[in-house]
Chains A and B, each alone.
Chain A
Amino acid sequence: MTMPAPTRASTPTSEGYNFAYLDEQTKRMIRRAILKAVAIPGYQVPFAGREMPLPYGWGTGGIQVTAAVIGPKDVLKVIDQGADDTTNAVSIRRFFARTAGVATTEATREATLIQTRHRIPELPLNERQILVYQVPIPEPLRWMEPRETETRKMHALEEYGVMHVKLYEDIARFGRIATSYNYPVRVDGRYLMSPSPTPKFDNPKMDRMAALQLFGAGREKRIYAVPPYTEVKSLDFDDHPFEVQSWDQPCALCGATDSYLDEVITDDRGGRMFVCSDTDHCRRRRDAQEEAAQ
C-alpha cells in the first residue's frame, strides 16, 4: 500500500516540482508508451495522460511527451503556426525553461528537441533531432466514425476503405481532394495516421525524415510515432495524385518561393501580403541576403 517516496530532481527547478514537472512514475509510464509507439509506427498507444497545469487543447499531449523525453543537455525549440513568438509557443518554452532549466533556441538547426503545433520546420531535420507534435484529435477516422470501439477494430483489420471513399467523394463533388490540412497518411504501408493539423504542404517532409517524430494527444490520451527513415505516404488516387499548396507570389519579406506562406491583411480595401509561416526560416534567409549584400 505504501508507495516509494517521490524522487526529486538533482537539478534545481522552480517551485519544488520535479524536473520537467512530471513525477518519475508518470514519466516511466509515458516513456514505455513512447517505446511501444516507436515499435508500432503510426499506431496510437493509449496512455494515462495526466492533468497538466495548461489547458487541454494548448498542447498538453506534446508537453507530456517533451517532459518525458527532455534532459539537461537538450536544446528546446517551440513553435506554433511555424513561429517561435506566438503566445502559446512562448508560454510552453517558458514552462520548460522554468521546470527543466533547459537551454532554448529559436534556430531550428541548433535544437535537439522541437515541439510544434501545426507546422514542420522548412529546414530539413537531422538525425540528432526529435520532433514532437501537439495533436488535438489523433484518430484519422474520427470524422467518419466517432466511436473509439469501432475505429480500434478498423485499425486492427486495416479497414481503411471509408477514408478512400471520403476522399473520392471530394473528387466527385469538387474535382479534387478538398482536404488541405490534417491530410491522412499511411505509415510504413500499414497504419492510417493523422499528421495532426499541419497543412498538407508539410506531409512530404514526414516521409523518410531523418529525425524521430513523436505525437502526443493529451485530452485523447494517445501517443504515436514515426521512426526515422520510415515511409509516410499521403493517401491519393492514380488519377488524382497527392499535391501540395503553392502560392502565386514569393514571401514578401525574404522572397522564398518554396515555403509555406501566411496571409496577412494589411488594410480594409483588400490589401494583403504573404510571408513565411516559419519565422526562423525567413530570418535565416534575410540574414544571408544582408550578409551577401555587404
Chain B
Amino acid sequence: MYVAVKGGEKAIDNAHRLMGQTRRGDPAVAPLTLQQIEQQMPLAVARVMTEGSLYDPELAALAIKQAAGDLIEAIFLLRAYRTTLPRLAETQPLETTRMTVSRRISATFKDLPGGQVLGPTFDYSHRLLDFALAAEGPDTPPPAAPEGSPPEVADQPMPRVLSLLADEGLIQREPPGDPEARVGDITRQPVDYPAERDVRLQSLARADEGWLLGLAYSSQRGYGNSHPFAGEIRQGTVAVEIVPDELGFAIEIGDITLSECEMINQFNGSKTEPPQFTRGYGLAFGLAERKVMAMALVDRSLRAEELGEDIAAPAQDQEFVLAHADNVEASGFVQHLKLPHYVDFQGELATIRALRREQAEAAAGKDETP
C-alpha cells in the first residue's frame, strides 16, 4: 500500500545539519575567522557589501563564512538583515572629489593635475600562480614597500577629469536636479518604468556584477553605440556626513572605501544639443573596479532615450536591464524550479495525453505507441 512521503520537518533539520557540516569542512582544520575573511578577501567583502547594499565589512565577512563562500547567498543574507534595520538618518551626498585617493587613473590624458596613481591593482600582474602564497605561514613577513616608494595615498588635490572637460564645454552638463526632491529608493518604492536616473543608478549599484559585465561587453561589441573611454577611475576613502536635526550642520560619522568610474562617450549631438561627450557613472563600495566600469557603461547605454538615440540593443532597454539585474531575485526565481510543481505538471501531463489521444484517433489506421 502506498503511503505519501512524510517527515518534512525532520528532512529540513537534517538538511541544515548536513549543510553546516559541508560549510565547516574538515573539523581538524582551524575555522576561518571573520577577521581573516575581512582582511584577506577584501574584494569578496566589497562585492557582498555593494550588492547587499550595506557597508559593514564585518557582517559581510560573516555572511561569506555562513554562505560557505557563495557570494550571491552572502549578498542575500546581508540584504535580509538590512531590511530589518531602522533608518536613523540620511547622509549628505558623498563628495568623491574630496576622496583620499589610493588609486586614480585616466585613460584619456597622459598626465593631468594630481597625476596618474596606479595604486593597488591586478592590471599588470602576470597571471602565474604564486606558489609562495601556498607556503605562506603565520611568520611570513608581509610585502613591504621598497625605499623611495611614493606615498600610499596621494597627497595633492585631484580635480576630476570630467570637470576639466566640462570647463571647456565639451561634455554634457548634468541637469542641476531639484535639491528639494527626494532621491528615489527602490527598497522603499517599487520601480515604476520608465525609471529616472537616480532609480536606475541605485538598481545598477545593487545589480549583479556578472550581469552588468555581460551587458557592458555587449555594448562594446556593437549591441548599442557606446564608443567609451575610461575618463577616470578612482578608489579611496570618503567621509560620510549627516546633519542631525538638533545641530543643523553636518558632522562626520566615518569613512568608507569606494570605487568610482566616470566613462566618457562620444555623442554626435541632436537637434537641440551640439556634438559633445556624454557621461556614464559607476560607484561601488570597496575595491570593485570591474563593477564600476561595467556599471558606467550600462548607465550610459540606458541614457539612450534621454539623448534621443534609438533603443535597439538589450543594454539600452531599461526594463530588460533593470528588471533582471538583481541576483537575489534572479537566483530565487531560477532556483524555485526545484520546489515541487507536481500539480501543474500533472495538468500538463493530462493535456499532452489528451492531445496525443485525439491525434491518434484522428490519424485513423495508424498506431500510436505511447
Contacts and interface: CB of A to CB of B under 8 A. Distances in A.
On whether the two chains bind one another, the answer is yes
Given A48-B190, A51-B328, A118 B8 contact: no
A263 B8 contact: no
Contacts of B6: 85
A260 B86 CA distance: 46
B369 to A, nearest CB: 12
A273 B268 CA distance: 69
A47 B336 contact: no
B346 A3 contact: no
Contact of B8 (A3, A86, A146): A86
Interface stretch (A125-133, A174-182, A227-235): A174-182
A181 B8 contact: no
Nearest to A16: B84
Interface stretch (B38-46, B166-174, B351-359): B351-359
Interface residues on A, range: 35 or more
A273 B332 CA distance: 32
B245 interface: yes
Interface stretch (A34-42, A184-192, A194-202, A208-216): A194-202
Nearest to A266: B2
Interface stretch (B100-108, B131-139, B290-298, B337-345): B337-345
Interface residues on B, range: 35 or more
Greatest chain A CB density within 10 A among B80, B334, B351 is at B351
B323 A48 contact: no
Contact of A90 (B9, B86, B89, B354): B9
B255 to A, nearest CB: 21
A61 to B, nearest CB: 11
A94 interface: yes
Contacts of A200: 347
B87 interface: yes
A100 B9 CA distance: 18
A51 B2 contact: no
Contact of A277 (B11, B83, B343, B351): B343
Contacts of B190: 46-49, 221
Interface in B60-109: 76, 79-80, 82-84, 86-90
A5 B86 CA distance: 8
A118 B2 contact: no
A261 to B, nearest CB: 7
A253 interface: yes
Interface of B: 2, 4-9, 11-12, 76, 79-80, 82-84, 86-90, 187-190, 192-194, 243-245, 319, 323, 328-329, 331-336, 339-344, 346-351, 354-355, 358
Given A2-B89, A86-B8, 13 more contacts: A17-B84, A51-B76, A56-B329, A80-B339, A81-B342, A85-B6, A88-B339, A88-B340, A91-B12, A136-B333, A180-B344, A180-B348, A275-B2
Closest A-B pairs by Cβ, 3 of them: A57-B336, A56-B332, A180-B347
